[in-house]
Chain A
């Protein structure tokens, strides 16, 4: 067609579209327009919106000139001038045409006609379903045009009015942009008007119905769903999902926007009923978000795909899933079940190739970026379903297609599978690649044609260890030709899917099994062919892999990426992407084609201060054939720790130099065994300058490492720096410490140093590690957390177990004592402990005891340093109850003290003493006065924090961990008050 002819042709259609749209608008403005819904064989709901109040009335009859029956309904006032009327006609005859008109007050509509549904016992005839959805654009008339076109095409094809051909329309959701009354009226009802007065419409919740409609009030007001009940399965909350049995078809309308286990379980129960129901031949599910999509990849219902489809397709009655959300047409077959899935198209916001992330999936046979509708025809007697999809428009061209038939597929429930194929290759010895595996010809006893083949290659004969799994269809519409015509492209044109070539280097050397099966155009798979063993020589030695010699590159460095075991395809490539980028949705920052299966490529000029990854991609596409490798470009900082072993409370200091200086670079401290990004750091700080330092003053006892990470991420750009805080950090526990002879037992450990040669050593109780003999030992692979199961039989006796690090006798954990056989552990020692060594005279001194005899006259005495219990009286004393507990002593004046635990009102001490000091509040120097010397002592500690060498706990008055001017203020108040 010449360009001028095309212009005139296009103009004619635009004028026609405009005329139809205006006509539709004028009609809506002038008339009461009925909207039929929720049909059965003997009833139907007639609904409409009116601006005025009035009892809704439907006059109806079986001839146009004799509307001899009348029904009234109820009116819902949804706004001041918005009344939604609903009248249910009941007692109707199945598959019968009725003429009707609607009345609200003095307003009367024209006379229209509908047909009731067939009964569930229907045995012959055709059942047809019109499918459309996704309107969403209120201020245009795209959907109205689509409806007019569908109606015209159907009436033209069959030479009959719409209601004589089609039983109902199924809408897949997003019938509004927002769920307001205005959108329901001006978008969904107005633009559905060409069909809504003649055939009922059953709709589905999309994401847009939920916007601006709290509690789905408008949704529930407009659609009469609550009365639907299939086999006791009532609609879900807010009528957002429901099962509707019409004729011999069960429609399961699901809600992809509020997914839940409750809905899934409901669907499972519905499907179980349907599977057992002799009056249901067909199950068609409808959900707004699709099962799969090749544009805007990932914008699907993962819940439906992963959890619900397996439930529905467990029954062969589930033949088709209808979805929307994407404003295009797509159709495919689930990989294993005989179930089609389809995106209906609609007319909402423009969606076209090149707009989004795209990917060719093998369970989608064709994606056509057109505005489309479908007609499903079910032959009740032969149990055959045929679906035809018609295109009306392309988003860049407008309504130019005039109901072009763009897809047709079918399902016959009476037919069986194709014949089992076999691989025709005679393989007697090792093969070299490339090698073509060939299937026997397709054969069907039912006259079906070949639609798909599936080749599988596995490392084992059960095919549970697949290395390659390819489903290919005879056609694969993916992408378009671009301007000016945007015609779909079949990327499988000319492809013989009965053979599959393993390309050179397509698999590594080794032994494999191959098999094939055929799928016909009735979605039935044949049985698998017998598996054929073959071995490959002369190929690569392993799977494709990328490697880097290092992970941090200074800007001047070339980034060398080594690749190995590639396919050797000259169009395979290595691409460099920034962290977080998705190949295909953005172009690579740098790329290079590979040369051969092994080699390397180099990249330079990468922007510094960023994290990248290299990917290995096949054949000019974005399919990745190896794991990505991550690296960083920028300065590599040098981080130095002041030492590697710290006492608890001691500050851990780091100095860094030559850092990238990015504002969100940071230093994180983790416990050994933890992985950044999987757990939160123990401590961290930003390192936004080239050089700097940081102090972590309050790390708890543990084994740690520090690392430097870039850009608020978790990519480490230095080697980890290991250090420890405290000693005997690790913890060992045993559930049972009195073991029977030969009893197996477990030793759990945590917070180990994480060194490969750490071990759990068992000694006889009382022995000294390094001096006495080690009874037995167990390595645990350098883990910091885990357990060791001991099956070794230990002789009867008392033992202890402890963790030792790096093949030494350095104990790095507590000891756990245990007994074996007849032996009994000695009782644990009595202890007296104190929470700190220095107290202000204004605070209580808390003492804790454990494992003491527990006598009623046991007591704790507080003595001044140098005194002897039994000599001068104690400064304070108190009886203590029980064999463990704690006691506070207050009012001690400044001085040095010790506490002793004595029994039975005597002076026999059963625990080691604990010493402590009481200082006068404000007396930082401990000289008994609060004066200038204290101020100077505090000033000397000013700016220090817990763990710093200048830090002085006696100068800290605000219970934080640093000495500040606020502490001076508090000290000064004490000074003034004395």
Chain B
């Protein structure tokens, strides 16, 4: 899977850097792995208004008229109601955007807690939110995140939205949108931006609620050759690290399932071999790439790793390929690690392989000649 990256052009990056230099830094109060890193992610931290602008979004740096709207106060004025399609746990408020043509909220999240993972085995992010608009109007909301390095330069990013009026069935609604991917190495902070855009009329009718950015550390070790030649095949072993670490001590492993991400223009998956003692269940599922289960179970023996599978790829073209393992245990009951007692745990891991061209005949001759010369010199000595 390749996360959507934007914006990349220099002007955009320069503007963002300039903006960051004046924006106040909002530390995430509860920054930790597998938690929502966005502060006031549901616009619930202050009293919501009726749709007109009020400065009631603590935790957000607001330009334009981004504001929290109370569902019950805004609803009579044409803003989303609790009966409109939206999150199942909407709380009292949602994000709205007053009458400004463009309303924007940002917050910068310190990721120092995750540096080991980001620059080590990897950190997998999930950016999500309920985004929408009003009836058939095309006012909209976009949630994006920019990944910044220690010099506050944008080195990656992702976004969700906008949700079109057609996607909403031309009805007032908010729909769930999510983007996932690997956080670039070198990321030290993330700037989340919620942008509401008015495309017509006088009020800005982009809406959003229940935003989330979370980060999960890689827990899968993938062993792959550093390099492989075009036309050759190579194996990647997949093993979960410390499955019985804190919280799962004494538990049992019953099953696993994960999806794969890679560039099919560079490599093709030619084989999957599920590791023992797992039984290979991959063929039972149409929506899971690799799955296995075991009976009776794999018990806690303080294993450093537990092998899951070996993947065999064939190299199709030269380049650098990132092969990743990921899962969505919340959305698919056959993904992640299934324990006997504890909750399922998602699987995240990645490996890079340099795919090199096949050496040409001339290069083989040059190399052979060199080896011959070396051999002759050694014999003379």
Task: Return chain A residues, CB-CB under 8 Å to B339.
Answer: 969
Given A932-B295, A964-B333, A968-B254: A942 touches B340 (CB 8 Å cut-off): no
Shortest CB–CB separation between residue A447 and chain B, in angstroms? 48
Return chain A residues, CB-CB under 8 Å to B202.
207-208, 211
From B166, B203, B293, B296, contact of A939 by CB (8 A): B293
* B259 beta carbon closer than 8 Å to chain A: no
Decide if B284 touches A976 in the complex (CB within 8 Å).
no
> Which residues of A have CB within 8 Å of B296?
972, 975
Given A939-B293, A943-B286, the answer on whether A211 and B338 have CB atoms closer than 8 Å is no
Q: Assess the B285–A942 pair: CB atoms within 8 A.
A: yes
Chain A contacts with B in 812-832, Cβ cutoff 8 A: none
Interface string of A960-978 (1 = CB under 8 A from B): 0010111011001101100
Chain B: minimal CB distance from A665 (Å): 12
Indicate if B199 sits at the interface (CB-CB under 8 A). Answer: no
Q: How far is the CB of A758 from chain B (nearest CB, A)?
A: 33
Interface membership of A711, Cβ < 8 A: yes
Tell me the smallest distance from the CB of A842 to a CB of chain B, in Å: 20
* A211 and B99 contact, CB distance less than 8 A: yes
Contact with A along B274-300 (1 / 0, CB 8 A): 000001010011100001010111000
- Is residue B152 within 8 Å, beta carbon to beta carbon, of the partner chain? no
A770 within 8 A of B: no
For A942, the chain B residues whose CB sits under 8 A away are 281, 284-285, 293, 334
Chain B residue nearest in CB terms to A213: B52
B50 within 8 Å of A (CB atoms): yes
CB distance from B173 to the nearest CB of A (A): 13
Known: A211-B202, A972-B297. A712 touches B166 (CB 8 A): yes
Query: Which chain B positions have C-beta within 8 A of A664?
Result: 166-167
> Is residue B217 within 8 Å, beta carbon to beta carbon, of the partner chain?
no
Interface pair A712/B295, CB less than 8 Å apart: no
Q: Whose C-beta in chain B lies nearest to the C-beta of A299?
A: B201
B residues near A713, Cβ cutoff 8 Å: 166
Is B222 interfacial (CB-CB < 8 Å)?
A: no
Whether A214 is near chain B, meaning CB under 8 Å from some CB there, is: yes
A9 lies within 8 A of chain B by Cβ: no
State the CA gap A711–B165 with chains docked (Å): 12
Minimum CB–CB distance for A925 against chain B, Å: 14
| Contact, CB under 8 Å: A968 / B166 | no
Question: Are the CB atoms of B279 and A965 closer together than 8 Å?
Answer: no
The distance from the CB of B36 to the nearest CB of chain A, in whole angstroms, is 24
Do A968 and B338 form a contact, CB below 8 Å, given A939-B281, A942-B285?
A: yes
Q: What B residues does A211 contact at CB under 8 A? A: 52, 99, 202-203
B166 touches A711 (CB 8 A): yes
* Residues on A with beta carbons closer than 8 Å to the beta carbon of B118: none
Q: Does B48 contact A (CB under 8 A)?
A: no
Inter-chain CA distance A932–B296, complex, in Å, is 8
With A211-B99, A712-B167, A943-B334 as known contacts, state yes or no: A969 contacts B340, CB within 8 Å: yes
Chain B: residues with Cβ within 8 Å of the partner, total of 27
In the complex, A935 has a CB within 8 A of chain B: yes
Are B293 and A968 in contact (CB-based, < 8 A)? yes
Cβ of B333 and Cβ of A966 under 8 Å apart? yes
Q: Min CB distance, B187 to chain A, in Å?
A: 29
- Cβ–Cβ contact A965 & B52, under 8 A: no
Contacts of B203 in A (CB 8 A): 211
Q: Are A965 and B166 in contact (CB under 8 A)?
A: no
- Report the nearest A residue to B340, measured CB to CB: A972
| A964 in contact with B279 (CB, 8 Å) | no
A940 to chain B, nearest CB (A): 8
Specify which of B50, B254, B339 lies most central, judged by the most chain A CB atoms within 10 Å of its CB: B254
**Contact B254–A972 (Cβ < 8 Å):** yes
> Does any Cβ of B come within 8 Å of A212's Cβ?
yes
A214–B50 CB distance below 8 A: yes
A711 contact set on B, CB distance < 8 A = 166
Q: Which residues of A contact B166 (CB under 8 A)?
A: 664, 711-713
Residue B255 interfacial (CB < 8 Å): yes
For residue B295, which residue of chain A has the nearest CB?
A935
Q: Does A250 contact B (CB under 8 A)?
A: no
A964 & B254 in contact (Cβ 8 Å cutoff): no
User: CB of B257 within 8 A of chain A?
Assistant: yes
In the complex, whether A178 has a CB less than 8 A from a CB of chain B is yes
* Docked pose: A976 CA to B339 CA in angstroms: 13
Partner pick for B333 among A178, A214, A965, A973, CB 8 A cutoff: A965
**What does the 1/0 interface line of B358-377 toward A look like (CB < 8 Å)?**
00000000000000000000
In-complex Cβ contact of A965 among B169, B297, B334 (8 A): B334
Find out whether the CB atom of A178 lies under 8 angstroms from the CB atom of B340: no
Q: How far is the CA of A207 from the CA of B338 in the complex (A)?
A: 58
Residues of A near B99 (CB, < 8 A) are 178, 211-212
CA distance A212 to B202 in the complex (A): 12
Interface string of B152-196 (1 = CB under 8 A from A): 000000000000001101000000000000000000000000000
Can you list, as one digit per residue, whether each of A132-158 has a CB less than 8 Å from chain B (1) or not (0)? 000000000000000000000000000
Q: A975 CA to B252 CA in the complex, in Å?
A: 14
Residue numbers in A under 8 Å from B169 (CB-CB): 712
Q: Of the candidates B286, B295, B297, B334, which one forms a contact with A964 in the assembled complex, judged by CB atoms under 8 Å apart?
A: B334
* Inter-chain contact B50/A965, CB cutoff 8 Å: no
How many angstroms between the C-alpha atoms of A966 and B340 in the bound complex?
A: 10
Task: Say yes or no: A214 contacts B254, CB within 8 Å.
Answer: no
**Residues A918-957 near B (CB distance < 8 A):** 932, 935, 939, 942-944
A214 contact set on B, CB distance < 8 A = 50, 52
Cβ < 8 Å to B, chain A residues 171-197: 178
* Chain A positions within 8 Å of B338 at CB level: 965-966, 968-969
Contact A965 B295 (CB under 8 A): no
Q: Which of chain A's residues 643-688 have a Cβ closer than 8 Å to chain B?
A: 664
Count chain B CB atoms within 10 A of each CB in A211, A212, A713 and give the residue with the most. Answer: A211
For B257, B285, B295, B340, which residue has the most chain A Cβ atoms within 10 angstroms? B295
- Per the bound structure, the CA–CA distance linking A943 and B279 in Å amounts to 14
Interface residues of B in 262-321 (CB under 8 A from A): 279, 281, 284-286, 291, 293, 295-297
Q: Given the complex, which residues of B lie within 8 Å of A968, measured CB to CB?
A: 254-255, 293, 338
Q: Separation in Å of the A677 CB from the closest CB of chain B?
A: 10
* Pairs A–B under 8 Å by Cβ, sample size 16: A208-B202, A214-B50, A214-B52, A664-B166, A939-B281, A939-B293, A942-B285, A942-B293, A943-B284, A943-B285, A965-B333, A966-B333, A969-B254, A972-B254, A972-B296, A972-B340
With contacts A178-B99, A207-B202, A939-B284 known, what are 8 further pairs, Cβ within 8 A?
A: A212-B99, A214-B52, A664-B166, A942-B281, A942-B293, A943-B334, A965-B338, A972-B296
Which 5 pairs of residues, A with B, have the shortest CB-CB distance? A943-B284, A964-B333, A965-B255, A942-B284, A943-B285
